[in-house]
Amino acid sequence: MALKVALIGRGLGGRTFHAPLIRALPELELAIVAGAAEAEAAAVAEGIDLVVISTPNRTHFPLARAALEAGKHVVVDKPFTVSLDEADALIALAEERKRMLTIFHNRRWDGDFVTVKMLLPRLGAVRLFEAHWDRFRPEIRPGWKDAGDGGAGSLNDLGPHLIDQALQLFGLPDALSADILAQREGAAVDDYFSLTFEYGAMRVVLGASTLAMAPRPRFSVHGTGGSFVKYGLDPQEAALKQGADPRLVGEDVPENFGTLTTAAGSERVPTEPGRYLAFYEAVAAAIIEGTPPPVDPLDAREGLRIVELARRASEEGRRISL
């Protein structure tokens, strides 16, 4: 029998990502879709095996805690929580209740990121890795994502994806520095950040801007053996917003293929297909077969620690050693 799933969250995350992916897999049955008013009841509903939480960031912890205490397996959208103490409490509770807990770091399955991982050996010793996620949204949007009541802002929204990808490729840095700002008039939360991670002679620069009409490269990687530069975002989100079948998305368009430059010259590199379905396939396997979850919550915890250290580095105007 399929695992019964309660999805908490009717916003962009729940509607665009989680619901279509869950419905696409025979191992999962989307039994409940709940909004804010029904959130607590859905987290503990009888007959539910898995609770998926795609709600405002500050509500992740109480809802995940309630679900774990009720004996449910749990998927939490990023950011995992808004503090390390909350993350530690959930990790301990999941271990105590012997329930799967994982975080929706779906960008591990972006085609461009998969392509970068594939190409790294051809670039020699990497010396500069840059990843940017730029948008042009000059207006302050209504809703919690631009509100200053805790847990919002670009660093909490896009930072977890960029940080997680960097940690997957290179591990924890030796030190970091950060510049985090609210640049738009009337902004209550940060809408710009630039993080620099130090790994010996290598630097990793992660950034996001809400006022970039002409986005910077999504990835720009430079090593002793070559460079790879890639523009454009993974196409899965845009396709899912249009109602596409998650099983049929992930192919990049040729005009967004990246360019690999080596001593032999330059060549366009087709983007590897992205596949968000792999996340929920691994969720189902973790629950049914006992395999590891697709994202170890300890990985997400390390990302949160980087976010907290970056905020301190920006506020104090200094480099922080890890």
pLDDT tens per residue across span 121-147? 999 999 999 999 999 999 998 888 888
Task: Tell me whether residue 284 is exposed, middle or buried, using C-beta atoms within 10 angstroms of its C-beta: 0 to 12, 13 to 18, 19 or more.
Answer: buried
Q: What is the CATH number of domain 3-106+277-291?
A: 3.40.50.720
- List the chain domain ranges: 3-106+277-291, 110-276+307-321
What contacts 24+ positions apart, CB below 8 Å, involve 138-141? 138/184, 138/210, 138/211, 140/184, 140/186, 140/187, 140/188
Which residues in the chain land under pLDDT 50?
A: none
DSSP 271: P
Q: pLDDT tens for residues 50-68?
A: 999 999 999 999 999 999 9
Which CATH architecture does the domain made up of 110-276+307-321 adopt?
2-Layer Sandwich (3.30)
pTM of the model: 0.95
